[in-house]
Amino acid sequence: MKRLAILISGRGSNMAALIESARAGEIDAAIGIVISNRPEAAGLKIAAAAGVATAIVDHRSFADRGEFERSLIAAIDGAAPDLIVLAGFMRILSPAFVARYTGRLLNIHPSLLPAYPGVDTHRRALADGVRIHGCTVHFVTADVDCGPIVAQGAVAVADGDDEATLAARVLAVEHRLLVRAVRLFCADRLTIAGARVRIRGETAEPGVLEAPSDKATNSAPP
């Protein structure tokens, strides 16, 4: 069984999806710790209520990023995780930090990368009038919102969408996609090959690509 550390900054719904899937035995993992850089993050209460250890490493209480990251590393390494998941963690991490966890640091990002790295992804997608939007789970590299892609999920953009409705539809896909990606990691099925991720037995693994049909704009879970 793999050990996970989950890093959050806020609501923690992706974290909650992972905790629930571990509890249900859908992923072969134990959540060693949930760490937030914000003391007020709602996800901390969800984790504690689920009996998961939590820690706060408040970036505002350190003189610089180096000090913050040293403290973050201490909290992570104290839990001895096999995998670190950035689940709505809103701090940019230095190349040295990323290098320390190469190949075992996953991020969920609310766009179909490489489109819309950074923030305000849903607003930017709507402003551009794209017909398709979504989310990506990828291994983290030194460049922000880059790195080998494990899984992507798409949603159709509906005529009546605003930022909130589009974000909600993407978020539902995020939860499924992140659990699938972590499940594959925990089963030792992911290999990074240059810029790409190979998935052992991929044909037998539905779900690393999720797309709406052109008939149904609001894809429901299967």
What is the nearest approach in angstroms of ligand GRF to the Cβ of residue 93?
13
- Closest approach, Cβ 133 to ligand GRF, in A, equals 12
Q: Which residues contribute to the site for ligand GRF (CB under 6 A)?
A: 8, 10-15, 43, 87-88, 108-110, 171, 174
- Smallest distance, Å, CB 166 to ligand GRF? 11
Q: Which is nearer to ligand GRF, 32 or 110 (CB)?
A: 110
State the Cα–Cα distance between residues 68 and 32, nearest whole angstrom.
20
- Can 109 be counted among the known catalytic residues? yes
* Closest-CA residue to 111 (of 145, 87, 75, 72): 145
Dist. CA 72–CA 55, nearest whole Å? 9
Using the minimum distance from each CB to ligand GRF, give the nearer residue, 1 or 209.
209
Nearer to ligand GRF, 2 or 175 (CB): 175
Is the Cβ of residue 22 or residue 200 nearer to ligand GRF in the bound state?
A: 22
Residue nearest to ligand GRF (CB): 88
Which own/partner pairs from 38-45 qualify as long-range (CB within 8 Å, at least 24 positions apart)?
38/9, 38/10, 41/8, 41/9, 41/10, 41/11, 41/12, 42/10, 42/11, 42/12, 43/8, 43/10, 43/11, 43/12, 43/13, 43/15, 43/16, 43/88, 44/8, 44/12
Q: Phi-psi category of 2—alpha, beta or left, where left has phi over 0 and alpha has psi -120 to 50?
A: beta
State the catalytic residue, choosing from 109, 122, 133, 138: 109
CB of 174 to ligand GRF, least distance (A): 5
Catalytic (active-site) positions: 109
